Structure 1
Amino acid sequence: MIFNEYPDRDMLAIEVASEIAGDLETHLLHHDGASLAVAGGTTPAPIFDDLCAADIAWDRVNVLATDERWVASDNERSNARMIRERLMTDRAKEARFIPFHVPAREPADVLAELEAQIAPQLPLSVLLLGMGEDMHTASLFPGAEGLTEALGRKAPILAVFHPSSQPEARLSLTARILDGALAKHLVIYGQAKKDALDRAMSLPPEQAPIQAVLSEATIHWAP
């Protein structure tokens, strides 16, 4: 694990965007295509603003979220909406997006077809994760029903969660899929999250899910 500290969040966004672009470009030198899995929420948006302009072969890149709330793609809580608006623009509009939400269907009913779309993208070429102060990542929340299975070595590609703290169901890539990415980046902001990451190092993944996906990851932190 590598820990990179930046003086501010603007500098972090520029550097992480550059590193992800470099990872994708290197991967595309040796493969026909690349897969990029990214977190939703507010943390990665400034990174996307820089990454979308990277001069790489975006038409050979498949983009997917690490997890998704079970809401329509135009809902303000949709990760797909944020990714399309902030990442898949400029040069990156040539990339292909793999959505998780299927209208008028229930999460459990679409797992097989979604996993069939994701399987050819594995192992993920590049992964961008965030983390909550509770040490969750993607939708792997401490104490969530089904978490132990999602952390297991034989976990499926996707898991469905119904967090008591959230208003809707969530689909998430499981820990083995996230941890298996060829290049992994975790972005965290603020002292509270830095302290949470420090705590996670001494806790089991069931209590600190982020701990399950940090092998050979690069951590990027700014105040």
Structure 2
Amino acid sequence: MEIVEYVDPELMAIDLANRLAGELRAALSHSGRVLFAVPGGSTPGPVFDALCAAQIDWASVDVLLTDERWVRPDHPRSNTRLVRERLLVDRAARATLLPMYQPTDTPEAAVARVIEAITPHLPIAVLLLGMGEDGHVASLFPGSEGLEAALAEDAPPVVALRPPEAEEPRLTLTRPVLDGALSKHLAITGAAKREALERAQGRPESEAPVRALFGGLTVHWAP
């Protein structure tokens, strides 16, 4: 794991966007299509704002969320909505979004459909992650029933989880898909998340799921 420090979140967003753009261009030079996986939450918004205008062959980029809350795509808490409003605009509007949300009664009922839709596009070429102060990444929350299975080396690509105290159930990519990304980045801001990252190094993966992805991970941090 490598940690890159910045003086403020604005510089981090610009530098990280440039780095992601360069990696996407490099991946496209070796492949006709590439998969770019991104998180929801508040931290990636400024990165998306800087990245969406980058000179990339966006028509050859497939975008996949690392996880999704089980709400309609137009809901204020939808990660899909965030990506459509902040990333899939300007030049990046030509990219293809692979939906994580399906119109089923429960996320469990959508798992097979989502796996079928994303599997032909794997592996992830470039992965951007966020992290919570509890050490969760994607929707791999500590204390979730089924978390250990989602962190297993032979886990299916996607699982449904119902994190304790969360407002909605989730669909999430699992360890093999996330850790199998050719390039892995984690963007975090603030002292609390930096401390959470440091605590994770001494905890089991079930208590700090981010630890499962430390190998080859580049962490971008700003105060």
Shorter chain as denominator, the TM-score bin is: over 0.9
1:56 paired with 2:56, answer yes
1:124 paired residue number: 124
The reply to whether residue 166 of structure 1 matches residue 162 of structure 2 is no
Q: More deviation in 162-171 or 100-109? A: 100-109
- Offset at 1:105? 3.4
Mark the CA change 1:104 to 1:150 in structure 2 (over 3 Å): closer, same or farther: closer
| TM-score, normalised via structure 1 length | 0.98
Determine the C-alpha separation between the residues in 2 that align with 1:33 and 1:144.
34
Number of residue pairs matched by the alignment: 223
Matches of 1:58 and 1:161, distance apart in 2: 31
Question: Paired residue for 1:204?
Answer: 204
The correspondence of residues 124-143 of structure 1 with structure 2, limited to 5 A, is 124-143=124-143
The share of aligned pairs that are identical, in percent, is: 50
* Structure 1 position 74, deviation (Å): 0.2
TM-score, normalization: structure 2? 0.98
* Post-superposition offset of 1:104: 4.1
Other structure's SS at 1:145 match:
coil
Contact 2:143–2:164 (Cα < 8 Å) also in 1: no
In 1, distance between residues paired with 2:109 and 2:164? 21
The corresponding residue for 2:180 is 180
Deviation by residue 1:72-116 (Cα, 9 ceiling, x = unmatched): 000000000000000000000000001111124321112112111
Q: Shift in Å at residue 164 of structure 1?
A: 2.1
SS at match of 2:29: helix
Residue in 2 that maps onto 1:151:
151
Give the distance between the partners of 1:150 and 1:102, measured in 2 at CA. Answer: 20
Distance 1:42 1:168 in 2: 17
Q: 3-state SS of the aligned residue for 1:11?
A: helix
Matches within 5 A, 1:1-223: 1-223=1-223
Query: SS of the residue aligned with 1:10?
Result: helix
> CA separation in 1, counterparts of 2:171 and 2:110?
10
Instruction: Please state how far the C-alpha of 1:12 moved relative to its aligned partner.
Output: 0.1
Q: CA deviation at 1:29?
A: 0.2
Q: Kindly provide the amino acid, as one letter, of the partner of residue 86 in structure 1.
A: R
* C-alpha distance in structure 1 between counterparts of 2:193 and 2:205, whole Å: 16
User: What is the identity, as a one-letter code, of the residue corresponding to 2:166?
Assistant: Q
Q: CA offsets, 1:20-61, max 9 Å, x none?
A: 001100000000101011010111000000000000100000
Letter in 1 for 2:84: R
Give unmatched runs, 5+ long, in structure 1: none
Q: Distance in 1 between matches of 2:23 and 2:214?
A: 17
